[in-house]
Chain A
């Protein structure tokens, strides 16, 4: 019998390569961070990023996503697209001053980043591609990599470690708002659409005990499952954007250091 407790204790995927990837990333990060005198906050951000990465790919959430729940699959995508790259960028210590001197605004990275961030989400929820990613490990890996890359491209113009390469805060706020709209539309569509976005989740095979638990005990019928998936994309995802918008507003109201010195 599958129970709630067993879900949280036994579904960890200890053989997932995600552990090795996280470990492999930690070493070089520590070297770089120590050399550039990263702050405690940056170390913390790296930890959050790594934890979100493992949560998405090696935790019970990943197991639920790969076997029975569309909503878990959506949560996985949101972690990879929004949380992992965001905190990875925030963790990145800015290079020494000499390197950062070139005061170039982000330019072309802006439309590209936006299209990548919003496009990746839409792209991977075309039913055929969603199915393919579940059937073929190769497509799945491509999906994971592309989501993280798209997420990084999206957040880069907003939180680039080199301050001079960031968008101006008020433009960044609009960029983020537009991102929120783009994801909300998809979320709304998935929530209310009677069409299965990922038809494989309608009747998953080969996980009968787990399926029994989520369908009968948790009450996640495939309809509710898709609704929760859409709502995750719609509401919490927008909260991430909103949080970033408020951060932008915060830096918009900040008086630059130079101006303070000039008083």
Chain B
């Protein structure tokens, strides 16, 4: 199985008709196939997003151009940004992670293969939904961060924004599910000897990224549902004229948006951390520092979102604190750049295409990082915000950084994924087209920004120098477009008649190279012993094995239940979602508002039903206990009681809603109504989901298919149920008891 083409090895069906091959790909739950599906989907959207970028650049090539008008221009830059972030960046990185993480840790698959397939299929679904908006008369046109109130109904009355909101919700759910899957996989599926302190840095960075995803995406989701409610149910969360706050959108969006930058950057850091050591023939310099600085970046990135909002006037105190904490991120990032450089230092460097992309990444990402440090200083931000300097900055980070990292990773792992080498000569053509094109396009935009050229404006006057710089930028974009086409041609040709790769063409270090290329369905016949961070190096160079010269912490794991771990990660994600919804309630329901309908709530009655809901946690706990001791009848009795209590709670909520509606308190009547119904209805929805899950448990138990040896499934749902109760305690305290008022 060491040779063969992609189609040969990946189609495991006995009959290799084209129909079964297609069905095989559609119905696959193999992490490798799903990884490739992610990558291919992302490449399709890369072509779409790239074409949109070229249209923008053609429009901007000359002053006062009329190639595309202002309305289409707005749609194009919105779709370009959204597509590149959500349909190219995230899927391609998650795709590589899907393919590589199980191989790198010596696992046979991810922890939840079917959840994995679910997560993937939401990507094309979300992507098609987003693009369907073109047929409604207008694609979304309020920018990739969709600022309110521009994105509100009054200013964007067509349905484009609604499609944007729903598509992003769909994609967000997919991202969270794949992140949970990766976390559980990395914790529970590692081969013996593979301690978490020994995992390849790509795995470690995906681990941190997954936590960022489960914490950051719910912030976006909460903003999305609030805006959906604004637009479709008549609430006014983000409409200042109705007591709402457009700044709240900015806060919520950037609570997601800043970690998102690292969600897109960290996996590329991980790829670079694999590529540079292999082609320098050295272990990475300062593994621990690279890993620790990743954690530091992850944590810091959660607390600095407001540096995207210097221009809104938060006051000098907030500006200073956020400037300082944003500047601090330069430290762990700088540590990484120094470590990569130190890995290169004194190595016997092999300038393969992959390595060239990695080195270009290093330089370009550093430039993007340095302009980022500039933006952390509030006065510079005020001067340059919303100019092309910003565009240059984040393209240096996300294109010069992330996309170049992905190319480095692509050239490096293509042989593993397909069994064939990419053509190096065509690879270098791609490399030079991309480097020249990228820097032509975006370096000059720094100057345009300094000259004051505003971003997101469909044309510009014939000011001195603007035409020439913009023309250079447009030429550069076409170089990059050509580079992508050459790459695709290279991939196509190499798949058919590329040089056969063999198991380990680069003499690389990590476990994915210890199996055939492409790997068999079960990944490994035998997983090599793992005694250091470079098991395959140890295997191939026994005299120079890493574990003979330096020790790394042994594998001392305690076994974890995948179901409970997944439930726990999901709860963390949900907690973030509710935190922001409850925060919205707190923001819009001040203590001083004496006329608020909040005073009409019947606290005593709801108190009784709160008690019943909390009691249901106790009954569920008794049910779990009974199940564990194989007392099936008692288990079913307690579970039925739990279901009953939950249902009673929901019925009461329905009655309470009825009363409020009769008094004219609706979701659109006041800020109280909007926030009250949103928070309690989402909680109710979660109770309902819990009831469905417990109902399934009940039916399985009744049929005798849920027995004590599978009790951890019930425990995992139990975690969720207890969490929903805790959320209600918070909701009850804040809304009914008004503890924060």
B206 to chain A, nearest CB (A): 17
Interface membership of A177, Cβ < 8 A:
yes
Interface membership of B303, Cβ < 8 A:
yes
Contact B299 A195 (CB under 8 A): no
Interface membership of A35, Cβ < 8 A:
no
Interface membership of A252, Cβ < 8 A:
yes
Contact A195 B553 (CB under 8 A): no
Interface membership of A175, Cβ < 8 A:
no
- The count of residues in chain B whose C-beta lies closer than 8 Å to any C-beta of chain A is 29
Which residues of the other chain, A, contact B551 by a CB distance below 8 angstroms?
255, 259-260, 263
Interface membership of B345, Cβ < 8 A:
no
Contact B325 A235 (CB under 8 A): yes
Which residues of the other chain, A, contact B40 by a CB distance below 8 angstroms?
none
Interfacial residues of chain B within 287-334, with CB under 8 A of chain A in the complex = 288, 291-292, 295-296, 299-300, 303, 315-318, 321-322, 324-325, 328
| Interchain CA distance A256-B195 in the complex, whole Å | 14
Contact A245 B317 (CB under 8 A): no
Which residues of the other chain, A, contact B591 by a CB distance below 8 angstroms?
195
Which residues of the other chain, A, contact B587 by a CB distance below 8 angstroms?
192
Contact B324 A177 (CB under 8 A): no
| Interchain CA distance A132-B292 in the complex, whole Å | 43
Contact B295 A249 (CB under 8 A): yes
A168 to chain B, nearest CB (A): 9
| Interchain CA distance A191-B586 in the complex, whole Å | 14
The residue that B295 contacts in the complex, of A189, A195, A245, with Cβ under 8 A, is A245
Nearest A residue to B299 by beta-carbon distance? Answer: A242
The residue that B553 contacts in the complex, of A194, A228, A252, with Cβ under 8 A, is A252
Nearest B residue to A242 by beta-carbon distance? Answer: B299
Interface membership of B366, Cβ < 8 A:
no
Q: What's the interface size class on A, roughly?
A: 20 to 34
**Interface 1/0s, chain A 37-66, versus B by CB < 8 A?**
000000000000000000000000000000
Interface membership of B590, Cβ < 8 A:
yes
A22 to chain B, nearest CB (A): 31
Contact A177 B552 (CB under 8 A): no
Q: What's the count of A-B pairs with C-beta under 8 Å?
A: 67
**Interface 1/0s, chain A 198-234, versus B by CB < 8 A?**
0000000000000000000001000110011001001
B740 to chain A, nearest CB (A): 8
Interface membership of A160, Cβ < 8 A:
no
Contact A228 B317 (CB under 8 A): yes
Contact B303 A253 (CB under 8 A): no
Which residues of the other chain, B, contact A253 by a CB distance below 8 angstroms?
197, 288, 291-292, 553
| Interchain CA distance A227-B325 in the complex, whole Å | 16
Which residues of the other chain, B, contact A170 by a CB distance below 8 angstroms?
196
Contact B288 A224 (CB under 8 A): no
Which residues of the other chain, A, contact B546 by a CB distance below 8 angstroms?
none
Contact A238 B303 (CB under 8 A): yes
Interface membership of A250, Cβ < 8 A:
yes
Nearest A residue to B324 by beta-carbon distance? Answer: A235
Interface membership of A100, Cβ < 8 A:
no
Contact A231 B318 (CB under 8 A): yes
The residue that B321 contacts in the complex, of A189, A219, A231, with Cβ under 8 A, is A231
A207 to chain B, nearest CB (A): 21
* Additional A-B contacts beyond A253-B292, A259-B554 (10; CB < 8 A): A191-B318, A194-B590, A195-B590, A224-B315, A228-B317, A235-B321, A249-B291, A255-B552, A255-B553, A263-B551
